[in-house]
């Protein structure tokens, strides 16, 4: 599906900021020049929409015709994305990859440490969140409490 959102682009501190218009609920991004700021705004929009889709939320409906609030110009940015575009694996595959049980994967999902969504009967986990978890290389077992350290 194609998602379109208006951003205000304005110069600030020698670069360009891109702020989503309206009630988007996310922050902003910046680039060294306008072209880079537009590219980053597209990346920003894609990641935000993917995040909403993974959480089972429908992205807000865009209202067009915003006026600049920061003295910049309004540019509509469009991205195409769906859950099918997100590299993913099943929860059991994620468990094998992380060397943990599927119950532990469920705990990590519930704690927000792994990104996941349901596809039919399968719990899908994003490859990026599994790779990020592996890069953190958490130690096995419970952390040492302050009094025992």
Write out pLDDT tens, residues 119-128: 889 999 999 9
Among 47, 65, 83, which residue terminates a domain?
A: 83
Q: Which of 83, 107, 128 is the last residue of a domain?
A: 83
* Domain residue limits at 130: 87-136
Same domain? For 13 and 75 the reply is yes
Q: How many separate domains does the chain show?
A: 2
Position 25 scores a pLDDT of 72
Instruction: Give the per-residue pLDDT at 139.
Output: 65
pLDDT score recorded for residue 60: 84
pLDDT: which is higher, 27 or 103: 103
Domain match, 63 and 15 both: yes
CATH number at residue 31: 3.30.160.250
**pLDDT value at 149 more than 60:** no
Residue 31 lies in a domain: yes
Query: Do 51 and 100 fall within a single domain?
Result: no
Q: Give me the helix-helix angle, 102-110 and 91-98, nearest 10°.
A: 100
DSSP secondary structure string, 98-130? HTS-HHHHHHHHHTTSS-EEEETTEEEEEHHHH
Indicate if the pLDDT at residue 148 is higher than 60.
no
Question: Lowest-confidence range among 35-39, 52-56, 140-144?
Answer: 140-144
pLDDT in tens, 72-125: 999 999 999 998 888 999 999 999 999 999 999 999 999 999 999 998 899 999
Q: What is the pTM of this model?
A: 0.77
Q: Are residues 78 and 11 in the same domain?
A: yes
Residue ending a domain, among 83, 105, 122, is 83
């Amino acid at each position: 599906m194609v998602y379109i959102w208006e951003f205000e682009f304005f110069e600030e501190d020698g670069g360009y900021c891109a702020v989503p218009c309206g009630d988007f609920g996310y922050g902003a991004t910046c680039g060294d020049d306008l072209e880079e700021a537009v590219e980053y705004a597209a990346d920003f929009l894609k990641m935000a929409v993917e995040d909403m889709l993974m959480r089972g939320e429908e992205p807000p409906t865009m209202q067009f015709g915003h006026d600049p609030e920061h003295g910049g110009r309004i540019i509509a940015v469009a991205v195409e994305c769906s859950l099918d575009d997100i590299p993913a694996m099943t929860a059991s595959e994620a468990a094998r990859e992380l060397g943990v049980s599927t119950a532990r994967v469920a705990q990590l999902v519930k704690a927000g440490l792994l990104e996941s969504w349901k596809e039919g009967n399968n719990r899908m986990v994003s490859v990026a969140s599994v790779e990020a978890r592996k890069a953190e290389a958490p130690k096995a077992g419970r952390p040492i409490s302050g009094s025992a350290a």
